[in-house]
Amino acid sequence: AQTVTQSQPEMSVQEAETVTLSCTYDTSESDYYLFWYKQPPSRQMILVIRQEAYKQQNATENRFSVNFQKAAKSFSLKISDSQLGDAAMYFCAVIIQGAQKLVFGQGTRLTINP
Amino acid sequence: GAVVSQHPSWVICKSGTSVKIECRSLDFQATTMFWYRQFPKQSLMLMATSNEGSKATYEQGVEKDKFLINHASLTLSTLTVTSAHPEDSSFYICSARDGGGIGNQPQHFGDGTRLSIL
């Protein structure tokens, strides 16, 4: 079975600075996909970024980028130039190729200080 | 982009009432939908996987007779909380994946339903 661990229950950062949220996972499979979802106070789940395990290049989406270390089973999210609207719960998740279930981490609550 | 509509967004009802929550994929067909439950400040807990035209697959510990799931079409899945009690109060979220369940297609989430049982 797959597991996802987010070791930082809470993080805070000053507006305009950079913050990194950590995520580690465990799976015996070699073909899988990783995601970061954002859940703001409205509680809507929003896809932030995704990464295919077979790709060595780290995914980027504007101010969001990941540091994917497959051997270490690590998938951290870096948010550059933090904005007040980035304040939310962030969930890391993994799904195995061919599987249906998305496995979530415990979440990290990110606070942006003005 | 893919849109999932969930209704109602908030429901308050008396103990013993049955409550139905709808999850619709608006611009794509979803052979598979998922139902999650989320307690305050916690992660999403998968309750069941809803497959169009067949029985849902429930996660361990989830009562099938309490949480009835129907997936009668490629765009609609419903979750009925039967004889709801205060301990069933929670935030319920559905999701759907287009692309026939291929792993690299992300799940698209509804906005969730806040259920409060008095």
Q: Which of the pair, B1 or B102, is modelled with greater confidence?
A: B1
pLDDT in tens, A73-111: 999 999 999 999 999 999 999 998 877 889 999 999 999
* B32 in A contact zone (CB under 8 Å): yes
pLDDT in tens, B32-87: 899 999 998 899 999 999 988 888 999 999 999 999 999 988 899 999 999 999 99
Tokens of A14: 């000053």
Residue B104 pLDDT class (50, 70, 90 cuts): low
Using 50, 70 and 90 to split pLDDT, how confident is the model at B107?
confident
Contact between B42 and A102 using a beta-carbon 8 Å cutoff: no
Q: What angle is formed at CA B79 by the lines to CA B87 and CA A89, rounded to 5 degrees? A: 65
How confident is residue A18, by pLDDT bands cut at 50, 70 and 90? Answer: very high
Q: Which residues of B touch A99 (CB under 8 A)?
A: 103
Residue B51: its pLDDT value, please?
Answer: 86
Does residue B101 have a pLDDT over 70? no
Cβ of A43 within 8 Å of Cβ of B32? The answer is no
Q: What is the pLDDT of residue B4?
A: 95
pLDDT digits (tens, 9 = 90+) for A26-57: 999 888 999 999 999 999 999 999 999 999 89
Query: What is the per-residue pLDDT for B100?
Result: 52
Instruction: Please report the beta strands in chain A, taking only residues with DSSP state E, as ranges in sequence order.
Output: 3-5, 10-14, 19-21, 24-26, 32-39, 46-52, 60-61, 64-69, 74-79, 88-96, 103-104, 108-113
Interface test with B, best of A7, A43, A51 (most B CBs within 10 A): A43
Whether A44 sits inside 8 A of B109 (CB atoms) is: yes
pLDDT at B52: 84
Yes or no, beta carbons of B46 and A101 under 8 Å apart: yes
Count Cβ neighbours within 10 Å for each residue of B83-93 and write b for 16 or more, e otherwise: ebeeebebbbb
End-to-end CA distance of chain A: 41
Chain A residues within an 8 Å CB radius of B106:
35, 47, 50
B8 preceded by cis ω (within 30°)?
yes
B54 reaches A (C-beta below 8 A): no
> pLDDT value at position B57?
93
What percent of chain B has pLDDT above 70? Answer: 94
Cα A80-A85-A91 angle, rounded to 5 deg:
75
pLDDT at residue A113 in the model: 97
Q: Does B58 touch chain A (CB under 8 A)?
A: no
